[in-house]
């Protein structure tokens, strides 16, 4: 198995937290595409890394195709092609897993993948709240947070389609049924067999689907949601405001519960804060919201409302939990 992600220096704390949560064994591979000149993967055990500038310098045709795209679009455009460069070195039927840098695993990745012995590709839906489904449909039914491809003909066919499509068009503005790298996931079924949609409630737990779910610890102190095991959390939408972290739920017309703050955000943000304090010259940047949520989050009264509704966790709160 190989796990790939990408991040810049502002997301490095998230990237390192992702890999520390994965419980990978020494035989598992770790690959990082570094998006700026100061990002580093040195603290990720046995990770191989390449700077995007180096990757594009050695892939001239790709560099030329995306030369007129903005920074975000270039990242989305090149990501699947970078994955294509990784999958060919794997053993037959081995998994290549792409994970967003702001994912956080609550159970080992091997425990997650064991459910898919007959799958060739794994994708997960957003599972948006009913009141957001129409508003956010143009950004895609499925989320790019985690996408896994088996190294066989079917897995490679889906990944190649994704890579080629993103080079053909990858605008960050929804247009004619397409959106960045994300809407293309809906067409995987047309190009490959064995595409499995993981709809379990403990998969891709995120601000856009968590609001009314019941979080608890089971008898083994492992996190559950509505009684089902939580495999990974997608910590999207977090914003840094001075000495506090604004959570990403309100733009999705939802609230982070007390249990979410205690069982998910406190340990996750605590890890990010510890990383910041160990690397004082690098400050964590804000998470990138989906377009539909970003429009709301930019309104000043929404930020004020988040403070009033307790959708904020301060550095002081997190430091108290260190003791």
What confidence tens digit (pLDDT) does each residue in 32-90 have? 999 999 999 999 989 999 999 999 999 999 999 999 999 999 999 999 999 999 998 99
Tokens 């037959």 correspond to 92
| Assessment of whether the complete model's pTM goes beyond 0.75 | yes
Q: How far apart are CA 322 and CA 320, in angstroms?
A: 5
pLDDT of the residue at 318: 93
The domain 2-197 is placed in CATH, from the list 3.20.19.10, 3.40.50.450, 3.90.550.10, 1.10.10.10, at 3.90.550.10
Whether the per-residue pLDDT at 214 is higher than 60: the answer is: yes
Give the pLDDT score at 280: 85
Residue pair 255/4 in contact (Cβ under 8 Å)? The answer is no
Q: What would the two tokens of residue 305 be?
A: 């409302």
DSSP 8-class letter at 9: G
A 10 A CB-CB count for 34 gives 22
pLDDT at position 242 is 87
The label of the residue with tokens 């039927």 reads 93
Tens digits of residue pLDDT in 78-113: 999 999 999 989 999 999 999 999 999 999 999 999
- By CB atoms closer than 10 A (0-12, 13-18, 19+), residue 130 is exposed
Residue 281: per-residue pLDDT: 78
What per-residue confidence (pLDDT) applies to 289?
44
Chain segment 126-171, per-residue pLDDT in tens: 999 999 999 999 999 999 999 999 999 999 999 999 999 999 999 9
CA distances from 268 to 15, 48, 122, 263 (A): 12, 24, 25, 9
More confident position, 184 or 28: 184
Q: Where are the domains of the chain?
A: 2-197, 236-322
Distance, C-alpha 183 to centroid of its chain: 15
Task: Tell me the per-residue pLDDT of 287-316, one tens digit each, with 9 for 90 and over.
Answer: 554 444 444 455 567 778 888 999 999 999
Give, in order, the Cα–Cα distances in Å from 271 to each of 48, 70, 277. 23, 31, 10
Report the pLDDT value the prediction gives residue 241, as an integer from 0 to 100. 87
Q: What does the mean pLDDT of the chain come to?
A: 92
Average pLDDT over residues 246-268: 94
Identify the three-state secondary structure at position 66: coil
- Structure tokens given for 41: 């993967």
Helix axes 153-168, 71-87, angle to 10 degrees: 160
Least Cα distance to 240 among 1, 13, 7, 77 occurs for 13
Q: What are phi and psi of 52, to 5 degrees?
A: -60, -30
Q: What's the full length of the chain, in residues? A: 323
33: which strand partners? 6, 50
């Amino acid at each position: 198995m190989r796990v790939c992600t990408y991040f810049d220096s502002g997301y490095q704390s998230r990237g390192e937290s992702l890999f520390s949560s994965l419980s990978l064994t020494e035989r598992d591979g770790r690959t990082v595409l570094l998006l700026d000149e100061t990002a580093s993967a040195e603290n990720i055990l046995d990770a191989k890394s390449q700077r995007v500038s180096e990757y594009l310098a050695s892939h001239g045709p790709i560099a030329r195709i995306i030369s007129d795209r903005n920074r975000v679009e270039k990242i989305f455009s090149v990501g699947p092609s970078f994955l294509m460069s990784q999958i060919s070195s794997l053993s037959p039927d081995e998994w290549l897993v792409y994970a967003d840098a702001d994912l956080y695993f609550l159970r080992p990745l091997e425990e997650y993948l064991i459910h898919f012995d007959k799958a060739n590709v794994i994708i997960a839906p957003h599972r948006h709240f009913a009141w957001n489904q129409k508003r956010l449909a143009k950004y895609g039914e499925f989320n790019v947070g985690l996408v896994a491809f088996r190294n066989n003909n079917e897995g490679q066919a889906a990944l190649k389609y994704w890579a080629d499509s993103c080079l053909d068009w990858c605008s960050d503005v929804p247009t004619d049924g397409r959106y960045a790298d994300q809407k293309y996931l809906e067409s995987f079924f047309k190009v490959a067999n064995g595409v499995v949609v993981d709809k379990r409630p403990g998969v891709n737990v995120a601000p856009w689907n968590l609001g009314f779910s019941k979080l608890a610890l089971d008898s083994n102190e492992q996190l559950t949601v509505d009684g089902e095991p939580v495999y990974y959390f997608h910590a999207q939408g977090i914003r840094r405001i001075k000495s506090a972290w604004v959570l990403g739920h309100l733009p999705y017309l939802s609230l982070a519960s007390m249990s979410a703050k205690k069982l998910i955000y406190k340990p996750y943000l605590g890890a990010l804060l510890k990383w910041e304090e160990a690397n004082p010259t690098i400050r964590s940047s804000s998470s990138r919201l989906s377009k539909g949520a970003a429009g709301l989050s930019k309104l000043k009264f929404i930020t004020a409302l988040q403070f009033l509704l307790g959708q904020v966790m301060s550095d002081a709160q997190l430091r108290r939990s260190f003791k």
